Structure 1
Amino acid sequence: MTAPLTPHDHSPHLPPDPGPGSGPGKGGDRRKAVLSEVGRGALVALLVTVCGIALGLLWLWLSPRVPLVSDGKAVYLKDTEGEEAIGGDGAFALIAAGLGVLTAAAVFWRYRRGGVGVVLGLAAGGILASVVGWRLGVWLGPDTDIVAHATAVGPKVVFDAPLELRAKSALVAWSVAAMIVHLALTSAFGPREPHDTDFADSQTPQWPPPPPPPPAQDE
């Protein structure tokens, strides 16, 4: 007699379960999240840069003027002890810092959850807006050709010197103020992350209570 043949298992071999979070759509979702973050950052940088126009106009309006005078041969400061030149740098930095506070508040109000892209866009936009405001104020201000301007007005006639930003460090005042305010607003009013203790409690299995002991039997 022969032993019966053991039937082979012809069921298809299923691949192992890859586990949650590793499906084919995971990479696509991460890519979409990155592109969305980059898009928000670029939009914030663009809108903040446009606000540099307001910086240039306010600087032109509020910056103290430096009076010059010509004797027909050379151009001199009318008031050699004046502090108008330093005041121009200070006015630019203060206006830029004030606009940085406003833009940081507006960005936080629009994107309350924050994100790396929004923060980088705010910082880059502040620097670009400062450059735009600086160049716009110089362009709209008094003539930058001092000799031609002195010749046009004539000798012994006081005229304004062109706007000039001597301290280039003022170009970062917008970004610094915006970063400080945005960080403070995020810390005070931003969404809260769950605490580790709460997460640990949520992960603790809830076992059912043990059954009551059986009643004692009398012998």
Structure 2
Amino acid sequence: MTAPLTPQPHGRPPHDTASGPPGAATSGREAGELRRGVLTGLSVTVSGVLLGLAWLWLAPRVPLVSDGEAVYLENTEGEQAIAADGTFVLLGLAFGAVTALVVFLLRRSGGVGPVVGLALGGLLGSVLAWRLGVALGPTSDVVAHAREVGKGVPFDGPLELRAKGALLAWPIAAMLVHLALTGLFGPRDPEPQPLPPL
């Protein structure tokens, strides 16, 4: 005689391993999230090159002049140094909005990975833009540059970012815009189904 088979819940036969171990699907989703996050972060970071070039092109120059012994601002009341920081902030806000929109359109299904990649990529992209703008701008060796151009001849001072908080403009704008887009146009949770009458 054989023992009767015990019915399994949901009609699943005993020892059904076709779907793999219980944690396999979860770890697969986590790996996919991590991969999407890394790709998003790298793409956003690389776009920092465009921000650096735009900052170099649009930021006002700080005119300096030498009297043969020291280097001074040509216009002591000029606001070019502050304007360079402001230009970086405005560009960072614009880049944050655009990258948030692109990430949202490409990853409309949501997920933590792309959001984290967007934030970290925005910060790293800002740092890359800052260093690239400084490197490609006028030389930071002001004394040598003053000797080269001669006494009383104005020349452009180095491009500098004095307010380092400007580096946060891109990631903050990206997170706020992405949050707004997700709230307005993101996937909705399914409505709860009413319980059947008893």
TM-score > 0.5 by shorter chain: yes
Q: Assess, with a 3 A threshold, how the Cα gap between structure 1 residues 138 and 19 changes in structure 2: closer, same or farther.
A: farther
1:15 and 1:39 map into 2 onto residues whose CA distance is 41
5+ unaligned residues in a row in structure 1: which ranges? 1-8, 208-219
- What SS is found at the alignment partner of 1:109? helix
Is 1:35 matched with 2:31? yes
Is 1:91 matched with 2:102? no
Deviation at 1:119?
0.6
Of 3, 11, 17 in structure 1, the residue corresponding to residue 3 of structure 2 is: 11
Partner of 1:134: 130
1:150 and 1:19 map into 2 onto residues whose CA distance is 85
Partner of 1:211: none
Partner of 1:181: 177
1:136 and 1:178 map into 2 onto residues whose CA distance is 21
2:124 and 2:91 map into 1 onto residues whose CA distance is 15
Is 1:45 matched with 2:36? no
RMSD: 2.2
Q: Which amino acid aligns with 1:11?
A: A
The one of the two structures with greater contact order (alpha-carbon pairs below 8 A, sep at least 6) is 2
> Which structure has the larger Rg?
1
Deviation above 2 Å: which 4+ runs of structure 1?
9-20, 22-26, 204-207
Percentage of identical aligned residues: 55
Is 1:120 matched with 2:133? no
Partner of 1:153: 149
Is 1:193 matched with 2:185? no
| TM-score normalised by the chain length of structure 1 | 0.82
| TM-score normalised by the chain length of structure 2 | 0.91
5+ unaligned residues in a row in structure 2: which ranges? none
Of 140, 164, 169 in structure 2, the residue corresponding to residue 168 of structure 1 is: 164
2:10 and 2:22 map into 1 onto residues whose CA distance is 12
2:20 and 2:106 map into 1 onto residues whose CA distance is 32
Q: Assess, with a 3 A threshold, how the Cα gap between structure 1 residues 19 and 158 changes in structure 2: closer, same or farther.
A: farther
Q: Which amino acid aligns with 2:113?
A: G
2:171 and 2:133 map into 1 onto residues whose CA distance is 19
